[in-house]
Amino acid sequence: MRIDWSPRATTTASRFLEDTAGMTALVAAIDGLASDPYPADSFRWGDVRRLRVGTYRVMYVIEGDLITIDRVDRLTAG
């Protein structure tokens, strides 16, 4: 599978670059989607899949052999 980042995902993820450890974990999890696009800790949310990686949430779409990362958000304590 091929992984592509949408412009929106690049923009939203760039807000968190100061969190080196978090971004390293996030990129590793996203890279892992190439071999397992449906990991156990992901779930369908409308037309997208949602994956939680530590304090981050990744929204992505699977179309054939292409995974498009749509958005990256950091969860806040409620």
Sequence spans of domains, the chain: 2-74
pLDDT (0 to 100) of residue 32: 96
Task: Answer whether 22's CB lies under 8 Å from 75's CB.
Answer: no
pLDDT (0 to 100) of residue 77: 57
**Whether residue 67 has pLDDT greater than 90:** yes
User: What percentage of the chain's residues is helix, strand, coil (to nearest 5)?
Assistant: 25, 40, 35
Nearest to 23 by CA among 13, 33, 31, 32: 13
pLDDT digit string, tens, across residues 5-49: 999 999 999 999 999 999 999 999 999 999 999 999 899 999 999
Task: Answer whether 4's CB lies under 8 Å from 65's CB.
Answer: no
- The CATH class for the domain spanning 2-74 reads alpha beta
